Structure 1
Amino acid sequence: MTPQLWAQVLAEFAGTAILMLFGNGAVANSELAKTKGHGSGWLDIAMGYGIGVMVPVAMFGTVSGAQINPAMTIGQAVYGMLPWGNACLFIIAQLLGAFVGQLLVWTMYKPHYDETTDPAAIFGTFSTTDAFDNKFNYFLNELVGTFVLVFGALLALSLEWGKHNPMGAAIVVGFIVWGLVTSLGGATGPALNPARDLMPRLLHQLLPIEHKGSSRWDEAWIPVVAPIIGGIAGVFAAQYFIGFGF
């Protein structure tokens, strides 16, 4: 592995860990018992995820593209924007970053996990599920949300204004996530990112949390498969617009 590729892989690992720390950290702050932010609500959670994406894009956008999302990485690889060998390394880094980021959230909020008796509140700090327990709705929301995220993020980062103002593009990407969580997040969570759901779900299964309940593995494929399909479609749509040379 060249030093440049190694730096890119580390950027994907660190960026995804930061996403989890900010995003699921905001959920834990709102949902767990006896936190100072208990009950702070959905807008605080949406802000956590928006900033949790904006910060890594600002930090690592010029290093690896700060994809921090296997759906974005696979979409780019499918259309030849990223070599598959690099994509596989990025995805591994993203999965490990999500695992470490979620582990840090649990570690820092452990006293509050110990005091929380609501399994749904605990699970929500790890992974997503449909509010009406409807798998079709779950799939549709994750697919459409990820499409909008990938489409919007690629345009922001790839068009001329974004190339000349990467910090401005990072802010726009953060607002896309913030807006998506605010507008579509009430239905599923949302994940919009296979790593953001799969690895925390694995930790939910493994960690010794007394009142955690089920890890809901019967639906775990949805926030993996739906975002990948949405990501591939989002890259295709972005490439179409970029092809006009705006």
Structure 2
Amino acid sequence: MLMDAFWSEVLGTAILLLLGGGVVATVLLPKSKGFDGGWLLINFGWGLAVFAGVYIAFKSGAHLNPAVTIGLFAAGEPFYNGPGGPIDPTIGNMLVYFAAELLGAFLGAVLMFLAFKKHFDEDADPAAKLAVFSTGPGIRSYGWNIVTEVIATFVLVFWVVIQSKTPTQIGPLAVALIVVGIGASLGGPTGYAINPARDLGPRIAHALLPIKGKGSSDWGYAWVPIVGPLIGGVIGGLVGAAYM
């Protein structure tokens, strides 16, 4: 069952990053049909990417995000509780989920690059090409950037923990809408990573892929979208468990 969950997370997170990175590429890369489509297009694109990823990853509970996994661990909630039996929130199982999510995010970013290869070949600001793969702050202030990511991820994970206990469950659509809401409301300062794998996997892909004129992968900032969401995930899990 755990290996089924592993590949479920790989596939779901890969689709998440293919579609999520794809909408950013559509808006930012030269000669794209959706060039300059705006922030809300990105928000809705990421929401629909989550919608698709959650459906695909049904065999694992569709975490797609180490912050969700660690939040469920902190809450003592099973990682999965469906056909085939539950997957318990243990450290070993959590590490398996982390590995699957990171691998899936990397693969999804590579597929997105292949889909937009000719557009990456066009002259563009290296920062815009990096932004297709990973997040970056509007105003670089590491402490406050961490605060933003903690708050935004707390909202996501707290909601994930409590929504399964409420009588108004609407499944993957609800997850998509909360992600759109977080992006529209709290995404401006940092680009709302809210997911360490979503940022780190594609950032590694950016560093390794032969992207014309790509510039730096900004490793100096890379710890922020890892640490902030993990802290927010733990707090969201603990508060969610106490609330319920």
- TM value normalised by structure 1: 0.90
Give distance in 2, aligned partners of 1:59 and 1:134: 36
Instruction: Assess, with a 3 A threshold, how the Cα gap between structure 1 residues 105 and 135 changes in structure 2: closer, same or farther.
Output: same
* Aligned partner letter, 2:153: T
Q: Any conservation in 1 of the 2:66–2:196 contact (CA below 8 Å)?
A: yes
Which residue of structure 2 lines up, in the alignment, with residue 74 of structure 1? 70
Give distance in 1, aligned partners of 2:32 and 2:164: 37
Which residue of structure 1 lines up, in the alignment, with residue 225 of structure 2? 223
Give distance in 2, aligned partners of 1:158 and 1:58: 19
Which residue of structure 2 lines up, in the alignment, with residue 165 of structure 1? none
Name the one with the larger helix percent.
1
Superposed displacement of residue 155, structure 1? 1.7
Which residue of structure 2 lines up, in the alignment, with residue 187 of structure 1? 189
Structure 2 counterpart SS, 1:115: coil
Which of 181, 206, 209 pairs up with 2:208?
Answer: 206
Q: Any conservation in 1 of the 2:73–2:237 contact (CA below 8 Å)?
A: no
2:7 pairs with 1:10: yes
Superposed displacement of residue 202, structure 1? 1.1
Which of 33, 45, 48 pairs up with 1:51?
Answer: 48
* Aligned partner letter, 2:242: Y
Give distance in 1, aligned partners of 2:38 and 2:123: 17
Which of 60, 63, 69 pairs up with 1:64?
Answer: 60
CA offset digits 1:52-95 (Å, max 9, x no partner): 1122223434x211000011112222343312221111111000
* Aligned partner letter, 1:91: F
Superposed displacement of residue 160, structure 1? 4.2
Equivalent residues in 2 for 1:142-157 (5 A)? 142-157=149-164
Instruction: Assess, with a 3 A threshold, how the Cα gap between structure 1 residues 160 and 86 changes in structure 2: closer, same or farther.
Output: farther
Superposed displacement of residue 120, structure 1? 1.5
Structure 1 counterpart SS, 2:138: coil
Give distance in 2, aligned partners of 1:5 and 1:160: 29
Which residue of structure 2 lines up, in the alignment, with residue 127 of structure 1? 134
- TM value normalised by structure 2: 0.91
Structure 1 counterpart SS, 2:164: helix
Q: Any conservation in 1 of the 2:149–2:192 contact (CA below 8 Å)?
A: yes
2:119 pairs with 1:112: yes
Q: Which runs of 5+ in 2 are unaligned?
A: 78-88
The farther-off stretch of 134-143 and 87-96 is 134-143
Give distance in 1, aligned partners of 2:112 and 2:165: 33
Identity among equivalent pairs (%)? 43
The farther-off stretch of 113-122 and 229-238 is 113-122
Q: Any conservation in 1 of the 2:75–2:240 contact (CA below 8 Å)?
A: no
Q: Any conservation in 1 of the 2:11–2:56 contact (CA below 8 Å)?
A: no
